[in-house]
Amino acid sequence: PVVLSQTKFVHRDSLKYPFEERGLQFGDGVYEVIRIYQGEYYLLEEHVDRLFRSLKAIKIKIPYSKVEITNLLLDLLKRNKVTEDGKVYLQVTRGSAARDHAFPEHTTANIYAYITKQHRNIENIQHGVCAITQADIRWEKCFIKSLNLLPNVMAKQVAKEAGCYEAILHKNGRVTECSSSNVYLVKDGSIYTHPTTENILHGCVRMAVERFVKNLEIPFIEKAFTLDDIDEADELFLTSSTSEVLPIIQVDGKMIADGQPGPISNKLQKAYEQDANIHTEV
């Protein structure tokens, strides 16, 4: 595997991360995780667009256009001779400088990207996963895909210790999203999910789902559902680049409906596979 560092391609093991790197010391940067199926990026344009939105929001300037970043990512894929399923992690930080909270004056952004293998978790998709609920204690700009992930890390660990896959986050009982995915509730044939305000990340898979529901003529209502609504839900599911469209069959130890993945979650997963041109059987 090779790493993209500015315009250099080097082996990832030879990369030295400076101690006074603002990503390391302040979490002063943003990132993207882009899925690769059979050696091709999925939703690349959506991810690059979101990267630039995040960069603008935290005032990091990079000497590349969207087209140039896209071409560098495509080049990275080619150089790694990727033909299987995987993902790229791309990180942009404000750069390296003597430690000071305020932006350094003469520092350029550091850009890193590397590719790893990522197999599809077909068992989870087929059988669904369980989740717990947690208060959303994050800041008010969650639309930025920031490197500051401590609340997400803490929430995911609580989920893991409960033997669950995800933590569903809520503000005063209104569900925002999960620790590393977007979440949706199905009731009487309609999908409900938090609107894309500054309080959640606008997921690239969610953008794809917004396309799928139009074709499938499934009502998509951008209105936060509540913890009480979960008790009455017909289906619950989450989306992310690593999880795809994943049914949630149990929340805080209580089954959702009959505890089986529901028809709308299944339809959207099928639509996802078609859209991503995936041939693996589920």
Catalytic residues: 145
Minimum distance from residue 176 beta carbon to ligand PLP (Å): 9
Token pair recorded at residue 4:
């993209």
Smallest gap from residue 275 Cβ to ligand PLP (A): 13
Write down the least CB distance from residue 143 to ligand PLP, Å: 10
Kindly list the residues in this chain that would bind ligand PLP in the complex (CB under 6 A): 33, 177, 180-182, 201, 203-206, 239-241
CB of 108 to ligand PLP, least distance (A): 26
Q: Between 93 and 180, name the residue whose CB sits nearer to ligand PLP.
A: 180
Nearest to 20 by CA among 74, 94, 121, 81: 94
Backbone angles phi, psi at 88, to 5 degrees: -110, 140
Residue matched to tokens 């977007």: 182
Nearer residue to ligand PLP within complex by CB, 181 or 265: 181
Please say whether the beta carbons of 245 and 262 come within 8 A: no
Q: For residues 149 and 257, which CB has a smaller minimum distance to ligand PLP in the complex?
A: 149
Of the candidates 135, 181, 182, the one whose C-alpha atom is nearest the C-alpha of residue 158 is 135
| Closest CB to ligand PLP among residues 239, 269 | 239
Q: Which CB atom, from 80 or from 239, has the smaller least distance to ligand PLP?
A: 239
Backbone angles phi, psi at 86, to 5 degrees: -165, -165
* CA pseudo-torsion sign 222, 274, 245, 200: negative
Contact 148, 94 (CB under 8 A): no
As measured in angstroms, the least distance from the Cβ of 14 to ligand PLP is: 28
The structure tokens 């978790």 sit at 121
The residue whose Cβ lies closest to ligand PLP is 203
